[in-house]
Structure formats: C-alpha cells, structure tokens
Amino acid sequence: MESIKTRRTIRKYTNQNISSELLNAMLEEASRAATMGNLQLYSVIVTRDIAMKEKLSPIHFNQPMVRNAPVVLTICADFRRVTDWCSQRKAHPGYDNFLSFMNAAIDALLLTQNFCTIAEDNGLGTCFLGTTIYNAGQLVEILDLPELVVPVATITVGYPDENPQQPDRLPLESFIHEEYYHPYTNKDIDKYYSFKESLQENKDFIALNKTETLAQIFTDIRYRKEDNEMMSKTFLETLKKQGFLS
C-alpha cells in the first residue's frame, strides 16, 4: 500500500481545517479494527478548541504540533462504557483489574493505528505522541476521564505543510525470529545498527549532544533510567486511581 510504504510522521500542518464529516467518517472506518468480544474498549476525545490545546500542550512537553494541528485525538482504554452497560443489564462487571486495562489498551491502540492509516490515505498527516502515558494522570484531570478510562495514545492530525525524508528502519531480519527467539550476538547487533550509526544526521546528533555513541543519546538524554522509573510509578498510580489495579 503506497500510503503505508511512503509514510512519514508529519509535524507541520497547513491551517486547513478537517471537517467533522471527514473526521467522523475516518473514525467510523477505524472502528473496523479487531476488538475484544466486539466490545470496542476505547473512547476518543476530540480536541479542536484552542483553549483545550493550550492545556494539553505542556502535557506533551510543549511540542508545537499540539497547538498547531487542527485536530488532536486522545485515544483512551475504556472499560467504563461496557461496565455501565453491564450494571444496567443485571450483569456484574469485573473489569477493574490490570488484565482488563491491557485488553482495553490493545483495542485502543489497534484503533489508533487503523485511524492513522486511513487519515494518511486521505492525504492527511499524523504525529503519534508517546508523551501520553508519561503524563496520563494530568490528562485524566484535563479531559475529565472517569474511572476505568486511561489515555494511551495521542495523535495530532492535519493537512501536511512539510515533506520530510523517510527515517531509516532496522533491517527486517533484526526483528523477525523464525519459530524461536534467537538471542542477539555482538556481531548481530553491530550488523543491525551499523546503518543507523553511519547516517550523517546521527553523527551530527552525537556531536550536538556531546556523547560518545548514538546509544548514549537514548540512555543519557532522551529516555533516561531515572525518568522511566519515575514515570512507571506515576503511570501505575494513574492505573490505580482509575480503578484498574484493584
């Protein structure tokens, strides 16, 4: 599929709006993704309001896409609606646990990717914001999310105002394992990461960040152990507060 093959993240958007008709048609189509027991364990919060974007922006480390995109979607793992349905139908729901969170997160993420594919096929650009789970607790407050609803993904969407190069990807053999997982030898690692390490942009990135290796940019600057541990704690607290760890 051409739109998938040539896909790249789009962070700059024109000021053209996305009509409700188009957005709704795309979200409806996205809901064709597989879902547990056909329960559709997700909700999508649509942000168009400028004041709401201002509130969301710091949650996403003030990345400019949040303010500049016509539409921001926060996709949530949601067992609230099903739980309400069960309670209203003489059934006793038991979805206030970690497995149920994972089931709902899976549904939400399949919907998210389906939506991105459809949006890109419609000429739109998207950016996936991984920051959602870093500050899930604050998103709960801002978006009024009730118990059994936890945000797992944010997508900014708009008409592209840039045409960036496609980033590199690891060779296929690096992430495919036939029948069993084959542990990586030192030689494998050298082979799989050599192309990435050879790119001028990554060499420039090392110089800019004054590290010795590219990997150190990830461990020492971008995704640090102490930050990961702190955010693990707050994300688990959010799961608990939202009723998924009882």
Residue whose pair of structure tokens reads 């992430």 in the numeric block: 175
- Closest contact distance (angstroms) between CB of 94 and a copy of itself is 2
Half-sphere exposure at residue 59, Cβ-oriented, CA atoms within 13 angstroms: 26
- Closest contact distance (angstroms) between CB of 152 and a copy of itself is 7
Q: Which is nearer to a copy of itself, 62 or 92 (CB)?
A: 92
Q: Using CB under 8 A, which of the segments 11-19, 25-33, 62-70, 157-165 binds a copy of itself?
A: 25-33
137, 109, 41, 44: which is closest to 81 by C-alpha? 41
- Considering only residues 187 to 216 of the shown chain, the ones binding a copy of itself according to CB under 8 A are 189-190, 192-193, 212-216
Give yes or no for residue 177 binding a copy of itself (CB under 8 A).
yes
**CA–CA dist 107, 39 (Å, integer):** 9
The interface mask with a copy of itself, positions 215-234, x = CB under 8 A, is xx-xxx-xxxxx-xx-xx--
Residue whose pair of structure tokens reads 């152990």 in the numeric block: 225
Give yes or no for residue 61 binding a copy of itself (CB under 8 A).
no
- Considering only residues 26 to 45 of the shown chain, the ones binding a copy of itself according to CB under 8 A are 27-34, 36-40, 42-45
Q: Which is nearer to a copy of itself, 68 or 119 (CB)?
A: 119
- Considering only residues 81 to 140 of the shown chain, the ones binding a copy of itself according to CB under 8 A are 81-82, 84-86, 88-95, 97-100, 102-103, 105-106, 109-110, 112-114, 116-118, 121, 126-128, 130, 133-134
Residue whose pair of structure tokens reads 């809901």 in the numeric block: 31
Give how many residues touch a copy of itself by CB under 8 A.
114
Whether 108 and 78 have beta carbons less than 8 Å apart is answered as yes
**CA–CA dist 156, 154 (Å, integer):** 7
Residue 75 phi, psi dihedral angles, 5° rounding:
-100, 130
Q: How far is CA 162 from CA 150, 154, 159, 167, in A?
A: 32, 20, 9, 14
- Considering only residues 137 to 156 of the shown chain, the ones binding a copy of itself according to CB under 8 A are 143-146, 149, 152-153
